[in-house]
Amino acid sequence: MKQLQIGKAFTLLESGPVVLVTTNDGKKNNIMTISWTMVMDFAPIFAMTTGPWNYSFSALRKTKECVISIPTVDLLDKVVGVGTCSGADTDKFAKFALTPVKGKHVNAPLIKECVANIECKVVDIIKKHNIVVLEGVSAYVDKSRKERRTVHAVGDGTFIVDGRKLDRKNMMRSKLPAGL
């Protein structure tokens, strides 16, 4: 995986792909599927809605670390599978044949099969709203991957695959951070 400038990490999430979020509670790795995420800044600061109903939440709260991994459409059945079983009784890396890769800044693993990974630190937990605020500290993109289309959860059990890309950089120049 090639390092991505951390200032560009928000572009991995802004379009709203379903993501995998990994944690390590000190004993074992776990993964959850999350589509309730939000970019909050170019910094990059992200929000994620989760809470005690997700088994990963206790590891997230305890370690204050996670990795956001961006899967592509060829991984959809693994993504849905990860989201419909629990780390309480399942080793999801083993069950779904995903490969944990050691990161640089956090103990939660990157996922080798994903097109991108963002190592994150928890900077706040807004209990009232079940919002976890994350700061991306290091980002990576697999440039060699052929399938690069991400998938967007509709919420009703269907998923929208990325279609064509339209360029409006010139129209938006005044609003873009430098270097993008």
Contact residues for its own copies, defined by CB under 8 A: 8, 10-11, 14-17, 35-42, 45, 47, 49, 73, 76-77, 80-81, 83-84, 124, 126, 128-131, 133, 149, 151-176, 180
Minimum CB separation from its own copies for residue 17, in Å?
7
Q: Select 128 or 146, whichever has its Cβ closest to its own copies.
A: 128
Task: Give the pair of three-digit tokens for residue 139.
Answer: 């980002």
The answer to whether 7 and 177 are in contact (CB under 8 A) is yes
Q: Is the peptide bond before 100 cis (omega within 30 degrees of 0)?
A: no
Minimum CB separation from its own copies for residue 107, in Å?
26
Secondary structure letter of residue 129 according to DSSP: G
Q: Select 10 or 140, whichever has its Cβ closest to its own copies.
A: 10
Q: Select 91 or 124, whichever has its Cβ closest to its own copies.
A: 124
Minimum CB separation from its own copies for residue 26, in Å?
28
Q: Select 12 or 24, whichever has its Cβ closest to its own copies.
A: 12
Minimum CB separation from its own copies for residue 41, in Å?
8
**For the stretch 151-179, what's the b/e string if a residue is b when 16 or more beta carbons lie within 10 angstroms of its beta carbon?**
bebeeeeebeeeeeeeeeeeeeeeeeeee
Q: Select 80 or 101, whichever has its Cβ closest to its own copies.
A: 80
- Strand locations in 19-157, DSSP E? 19-24, 29-34, 37-39, 45-49, 65-70, 100-101, 110-111, 116-126, 131-141, 151-153
Minimum CB separation from its own copies for residue 148, in Å?
11
Give the up-direction half-sphere exposure of residue 16: CA atoms within 13 A in the CB hemisphere: 9
